[in-house]
């Protein structure tokens, strides 16, 4: 049982090389399984296997006790030094719940599965850190991925203060992931961790003081006490003068917000946003007692007079350890926070409409953990395409696609381009956005820049279709072409 709070810990092994698991055969199967999941965009073993023998081989790998989920976590949380050295990095953190409600009857060790936040639905928790280049916005990899089970809470909920030490609480996952990421990203020029309100924790702010990393976190709903100020934080922000305005395009929303337990129905609009900022010193009750933490507060809110009737006002209250002294700097940090959608979409891509982790057919929690880890690696490939689709500074196409795949993409590009300039692929072949344009077109996107761009679920659908074409192209092209590739 992975108990509360003991996440699956990474174990150093190298990158599925011959020494992985001290068994070259296991390493070979691991490499093949990851490649197959990434290329075929599926984690369903019988779908990605060439035949019955390979299907059995993949299942044996996932169930093999010598192949731990900790070793696999270490594998996918390794970034090449060239992606890190001297760079300014954003690390976007998020937590997500994986429901096994529909599959729990098939799990042989169901007593190890645990429950979600409702204390009854079977499932487990994931906490991931996605690394972006702060200047270009390119997705570079995962610096940490944690999985754990939450046991059923028995008896009435206690309203009294939780007296456990911080490292014994589930909220410690934020600090533990920072510690893991700092090891992986040690050669970076600077690192800013961007978290949502779940990380607005007194202990996390206190621990960040004097460290070689910075935090940018959305404030929770509860107010904060300021040093030498009669006003609390929220009232203080309300009284600040507006430093500038900007327009925020908002897309249409029609989905259920699980955290709020209600439907979100939002009409598309352009929000007129006001920006305020100021230095603050918070008085926080941390584990070591009352501490004074100097931070900078940023308030970005939609003008209430312009909010359509029946719609919620957009209002972000942010805190950061980095100085914010100008409107331009405040806008930079607001832009950094807006990158949070990428890790939210990464988690979404692993679920129902993406890699469907929650529909797994595996029968032990450890095997399900392993399948989940592999799904994240494949989902990251999808997210790289989504993030690159409109970037001026580009990652090379060959970082994701092989020479043969690029050759097939070029043939499809000719078929998918229209007659007018607006219907042509605007990117060059060596840019990842060129491939993203083709994959998006295969998903059903019409190719016009004025249309809503393809998101991760649609991009995955396009990849699914691409590999159908690619397999057919490989099957029927002349043998001499295959030999030359």
Domains of the chain: 78-360 (3.90.350.10), 389-484 (1.10.740)
Of residues 299, 387, 310, the one with CA closest to residue 342: 387
What is the Cα–Cα distance from 267 to 264, expressed in whole angstroms? 10
In three-state secondary structure terms, 445 is coil
Tokens describing residue 16: 């599925």
The pLDDT of residue 194 = 98
What is the Cα–Cα distance from 305 to 240, expressed in whole angstroms? 18
Instruction: Note the pTM of the prediction, 2 decimals.
Output: 0.85
Q: Please check whether residue 174 is in contact with residue 140, taking contact to mean a CB–CB distance below 8 angstroms.
A: no
Per-residue tens of pLDDT for the chain, all 485 residues: 334 445 554 443 333 344 455 677 777 787 777 777 766 667 778 878 888 888 888 888 888 888 878 777 877 888 888 889 999 999 999 999 999 998 899 899 988 898 998 999 999 999 999 999 999 888 899 999 999 888 887 766 555 566 788 888 889 999 999 999 999 999 999 999 999 999 999 999 999 999 999 999 999 888 899 998 899 999 999 999 999 999 998 887 766 555 555 566 778 889 999 999 999 999 999 988 999 999 999 999 999 988 888 888 999 999 999 999 999 999 999 999 999 988 888 888 888 777 788 888 888 888 899 888 888 888 888 888 888 876 666 678 887 888 999 999 999 999 999 888 888 999 999 999 999 999 999 988 887 777 778 888 888 888 888 988 888 888 887 665 544 54
């Amino acid at each position: 049982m992975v108990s509360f709070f003991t996440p699956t810990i990474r174990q150093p092994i190298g990158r599925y090389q011959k020494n992985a698991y001290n068994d070259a055969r296991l390493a070979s199967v691991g490499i093949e399984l990851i490649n197959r999941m990434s290329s075929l965009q599926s984690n369903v073993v019988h779908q990605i296997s060439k035949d019955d023998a390979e299907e059995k081989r993949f299942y044996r790998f996932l169930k093999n006790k010598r192949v731990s989920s900790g070793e696999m976590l270490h594998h996918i949380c390794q970034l090449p030094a060239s992606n890190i050295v001297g760079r300014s990095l954003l690390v976007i953190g998020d937590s997500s719940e994986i429901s096994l409600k529909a599959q729990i009857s098939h799990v042989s060790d169901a007593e190890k599965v645990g429950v979600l936040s409702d204390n009854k639905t079977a499932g487990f928790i994931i906490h991931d850190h996605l690394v972006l280049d702060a200047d270009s916005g390119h997705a570079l990899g995962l610096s940490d991925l944690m999985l754990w089970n939450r046991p059923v809470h028995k008896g009435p909920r206690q309203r009294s203060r939780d007296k456990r030490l911080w490292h014994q609480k589930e909220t410690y996952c934020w600090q533990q992931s920072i510690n893991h990421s700092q090891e992986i990203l040690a050669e970076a020029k600077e690192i800013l961790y961007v978290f949502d309100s779940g990380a607005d924790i007194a202990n996390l702010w206190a621990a960040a003081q004097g460290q070689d990393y910075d935090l940018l976190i959305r404030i929770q709903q509860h107010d904060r006490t300021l040093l030498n100020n009669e006003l609390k934080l929220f009232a203080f922000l309300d009284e600040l003068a507006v430093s500038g305005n900007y327009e925020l395009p908002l897309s249409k929303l029609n989905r259920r917000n699980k955290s709020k337990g209600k439907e979100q129905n939002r009409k598309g609009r352009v929000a007129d946003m006001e920006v305020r900022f100021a230095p603050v010193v918070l008085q926080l009750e941390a584990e070591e007692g009352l501490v004074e933490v100097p931070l900078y507060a940023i308030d970005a809110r939609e003008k209430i007079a312009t909010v359509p009737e029946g719609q919620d006002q957009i209002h972000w209250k942010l805190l950061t350890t980095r100085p914010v002294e100008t409107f331009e700097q405040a806008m930079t940090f607001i832009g950094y926070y807006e990158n949070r959608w990428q890790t939210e979409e990464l988690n979404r891509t692993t679920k129902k409409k993406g890699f469907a982790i929650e529909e797994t057919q595996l029968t032990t929690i450890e095997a399900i953990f392993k399948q989940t880890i592999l799904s994240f690696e494949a989902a990251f490939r999808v997210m790289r395409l989504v993030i690159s689709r409109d970037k001026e500074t580009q990652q090379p196409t060959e970082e994701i696609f092989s020479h043969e795949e690029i050759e097939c993409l070029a043939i499809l590009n000719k078929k998918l381009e229209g007659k007018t300039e607006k219907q042509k692929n605007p990117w060059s072949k060596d840019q990842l956005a060129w491939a993203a344009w083709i994959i998006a077109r295969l998903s059903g996107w019409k190719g016009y820049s004025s249309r809503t761009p393809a998101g991760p679920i649609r991009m995955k659908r396009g990849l699914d279709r691409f590999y159908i074409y690619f397999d057919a192209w490989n099957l029927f092209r002349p043998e001499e072409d295959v030999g030359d590739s």
